[in-house]
Amino acid sequence: MLIPLLVSCGQYLDTSPDRKLVKRVEERLKPDEGLPLPAISQLPPQTVEQALPKFKEGRPKSATILPPPSATKPELPKAAPEASKQLSIAAVRSMALENNLDLKIAQADPKIAATAVSEEEAKFDDLIFAKAKYGKKNTPAQNLDVVSFTPVDSNSPLKNEIDKLTAVPQETEMLDMEAGIVIPLRTGAKVTVSSPFDGKRQFRGVASDQYQNALRFSISQPLLRDAGISNNVAGIRIARYEQQAVDVKTRLQAIRVLAMVERAYWSLYVAWGELDVRRQQYENASNNLSMVRKRVAEGLTASIEINRAEIGVAERLESLIIAETSLKTRQRQLKLLLNAPGLDLDSQTLLIPETSPTLLEFNLDREQLAQRALDGRLELLELELKLAADLTKIDYLSNQTLPMFMLDYNYAALGRDTSSYSGAFDQTLSGNYSDWSVGLRMEIPLSNELRRARLDRAVQERMQRLTSQQLRELSVRREIYDALDQMNQNWQRILATRQNVVLAGLNYDAELKQFKEGLRTMTEVLETLTRLGEAQLREVRAIGDYQVSMIDLAFATGTLLGHSRVDLGWQNN
């Protein structure tokens, strides 16, 4: 007997959404957001040095590749310690989580969603009420109805007499009081328990004091429309689904911002690498100019070579200036995302990337990653929560199309006394006098078009969302495959540009040596220097693009690369 009662109480108090879906949301919102590429790679990762010999033999036929950490990066220009700040990618992510304005805006959404749940739950708050009214009347004599007397005693002289009643002048004091509580139940019923008191004292005419009291109980229970726990807590469940959807959306916004920060970080890395290449080009051209001037002064080279060397210096100076401006722009982009104290947009502090790029090749299972994305993409989880809310809404609106049948029951224990309220209250407790009633009320709309239209719209919205879910899943798979192909392309670019840099460096050294022997002009030397610089730039860009393609792959799976165990800070409540 006790167990069914406890089960019924649990069902009555239960307003939580689907438990399996809630568990999935809670597991998905745990702090770990890393995509462990080394752990899911089918083959041991390869460095550039390990992969380059095979690349020279010919393009590999397999095209499923990806990367983690190595220590190869362009030499970075040295800045004054007080004017520079070295940042690892883990520090950048942590700063963004703490200071990014987009995230601070998003953090307010879960709090707003929680208030919506509180609003729905407040519909079942009990209501305590009390009222009191005092009045006084001093009325003159008044003509009342004409009546015929039907006495109980058949011998009464008033039998069948017709007369007019007249109210004598009266002075009356009245005091009405009532206190009680209204309890809304999750079955749809409303229970009211109250105790009214009223007292009346007459001072003129015929003195007549009266004190009345009652204990009233009433309940109104819907039998069709608005009946049942599931219909009455539908608003709470929908609000909880929406709250969890907001939590998921906020986590997604955090991942999106961190991905933007990481892209900006590697964009800055590329800008430093480009500046370093341009500086090396300028220094080499300047050294060549000094060497040519010395050889002309010694009579070993024609003076026209000085002009050619000066042209080479001027061209590289322009490229160096453009690279410096590009570095400032990308630093400002990262500072905007970080919004950290001491890193104002126009501050002179130089941000220097400290984390080495990941230069490893991975062999990843395309279908495994696609399934991982379908399980981990927060957009899909958010859509699933909305579909669950749609289903709850449809069930509720389906109930709203039913007729309204209301069962009403009222009971009151009555008491009266001519001397005091306490006497009336004692008589009420005795239970000698009572007043009760039971009844049915019915409301049936003639067309019911309004409620049916709302139900039809909810069904169509759910069907639309189901179609969107299918399209979203196809889009997720496409993003995974695109990210894998893009990453494979960038890995091949790294190998190709690394080989090109080596060959271009050897060619430049050979051309410079032949110039010193009088077999080449400075124009030809500068051409090979330019080709060397372009090859170095392509390598730097390929490395940067490779890091970004890994970020895109992780983002496509709904996670991050996991350079650090940074907790995004939002848990499902």
DSSP letters, 451-516, are: HHHHHHHHHHHHHHHHHHHHHHHHHHHHHHHHHHHHHHHHHHHHHHHHHHHHHHHHHHHHHHHHHH
Taking residue 162's Cβ as centre, other Cβ atoms within 10 Å add up to 8
Q: What is the pLDDT of residues 214-267, one digit of tens each?
A: 999 999 999 999 999 999 999 999 999 999 889 888 888 888 888 999 999 999
For the segment 26-46, the average pLDDT, to the nearest whole number, is 64
How far is the CA of 92 from the CAs of 342, 343, 357, 573, in angstroms?
Answer: 14, 12, 15, 28
Question: Does residue 542 surpass a pLDDT of 90?
Answer: yes
Residue 94 pLDDT grade (very low, low, confident, very high; cuts 50, 70, 90) = confident
Nearest to residue 332, comparing CAs of 278, 267, 258, 275? 267
CA–CA dist 511, 477 (Å, integer)? 50
Q: Which residue has the higher pLDDT, 10 or 230?
A: 230
- At residue 67, the 3 state secondary structure works out as coil
Is 196 in contact with 131 (CB distance < 8 Å)?
Answer: no
326 or 70, higher pLDDT: 326
Predicted TM-score (pTM) of the model is 0.71
**pLDDT level of residue 139 (50, 70, 90 thresholds):** confident
Q: What is the mean pLDDT of residues 258-278?
A: 92
Tokens of 500: 């090109």
How far apart CA 64 and CA 60 sit, in angstroms, is 10
pLDDT at 35: 66
Do 363 and 44 touch, CB atoms closer than 8 A? Answer: no
Would you place residue 75 in the very low, low, confident or very high pLDDT band (cuts 50, 70, 90)? Answer: very low
Backbone φ and ψ of 78, nearest 5°: -85, 130
The answer, yes or no, to whether residue 145 has pLDDT greater than 70, is yes
Distance CA 552, CA 554 (A): 5
Neighbours of 272 (CB within 10 A): 23
Q: How many CB atoms lie within 10 A of CB 253?
A: 20
Q: What is the pLDDT of residues 392-422, one digit of tens each?
A: 999 999 999 999 999 999 999 999 888 888 8
Per-residue pLDDT tens digits for 374-385:
888 888 888 989
CB–CB of 129/166 below 8 Å?
no
- C-alpha to C-alpha distance for 49 and 498, rounded to whole angstroms: 10
Q: Report which of 355, 267, 486, 341 is spatially closest to residue 73, judged by C-alpha positions.
A: 355
Which residues fall within 8 angstroms of residue 486, CB to CB, at 6 or more apart?
549, 552
Closest CA to 549 of 374, 358, 331: 358
Going by their DSSP bridges, the two strands 170-184 and 190-202 should be labelled as antiparallel
- Reading the block at residue 378, the tokens are 């927060």
- Percent composition of the chain: helix, strand, coil (DSSP 3-state, to 5): 55, 20, 25
Question: What mean pLDDT, rounded, does the chain reach?
Answer: 83
Task: Provide the pLDDT confidence category of residue 530 given band limits of 50, 70 and 90.
Answer: confident
- Element containing residue 559 per DSSP (H, E): none
- Bridge partners (DSSP) of residue 211 are 199, 417
Q: Beta partners for 415?
A: 213
Would you place residue 38 in the very low, low, confident or very high pLDDT band (cuts 50, 70, 90)?
A: low
Answer yes or no: are the C-beta atoms of 468 and 383 closer than 8 Å.
Answer: yes
Q: Is the pLDDT of residue 562 over 80?
A: no
Residues in the chain: 573
CB burial string 211-238: b at 16+ within 10 A, e below: bbbbbbebbbbbbbbbbbbbbbbbbbbb
- Residues 40 and 35: their CA atoms lie apart, in Å, by 9
- pLDDT of 302 above 90: no
Mean pLDDT of 167-195: 91
pLDDT digits (tens, 9 = 90+) for 314-327: 888 888 999 999 99
Determine contact, residues 411/436, Cβ cutoff 8 Å: yes
- Cβ atoms 335, 272 nearer than 8 A: no
Beta bridge partners of 146: 164
Q: Which amino acid is present at 540?
A: V
Q: List the structure tokens of 235.
A: 């608003």
In the prediction, which pLDDT does 377 show? 86
Question: pLDDT category, 8, cuts 50, 70, 90?
Answer: low
DSSP string, 238-277: HHHHHHHHHHHHHHHHHHHHHHHHHHHHHHHHHHHHHHHH
pLDDT above 90 for 546 = yes
Average pLDDT over residues 469-492: 91
Average pLDDT over residues 157-183: 87
The DSSP symbol for 447 reads S
Q: How far apart are CA 54 and CA 277, in angstroms?
A: 27
Which of residues 58 and 370 earns the better pLDDT score? 370
Cα-atom radius of gyration of the chain, to the nearest Å?
A: 43
CA distance 273 to 328: 13
Which pLDDT band holds residue 36 (cuts at 50, 70, 90)?
Answer: low
Beta strand 404-417 with 433-443 is: antiparallel
Asked whether residue 563 carries a pLDDT value surpassing 50, the answer given is no
| pLDDT reported for residue 485 | 93
Distance (Å, rounded) from C-alpha 128 to C-alpha 142?
41
User: How many C-beta atoms surround the C-beta of residue 208 within 10 A?
Assistant: 12
In angstroms, the CA 309 to CA 354 distance is 36
pLDDT over 80 (residue 66): no
pLDDT-derived band at 567 (thresholds 50, 70, 90) equals very low
Please check whether residue 339 is in contact with residue 101, taking contact to mean a CB–CB distance below 8 angstroms.
Answer: yes
Element (H or E) spanning 438, and its range?
Answer: strand 433-443
Strands 350-353 and 142-148: unpaired
Question: Is the CB of residue 271 less than 8 Å from the CB of residue 541?
Answer: no
Structure confidence at residue 67 as a pLDDT band (50, 70, 90): very low
Assess contact for 339 and 304: CB atoms under 8 A: no
Please, where are the H alpha helices in 47-88?
48-57
Distance spanning both ends of the chain, measured CA to CA: 34
Could you give the percent of the chain with pLDDT greater than 90? 37
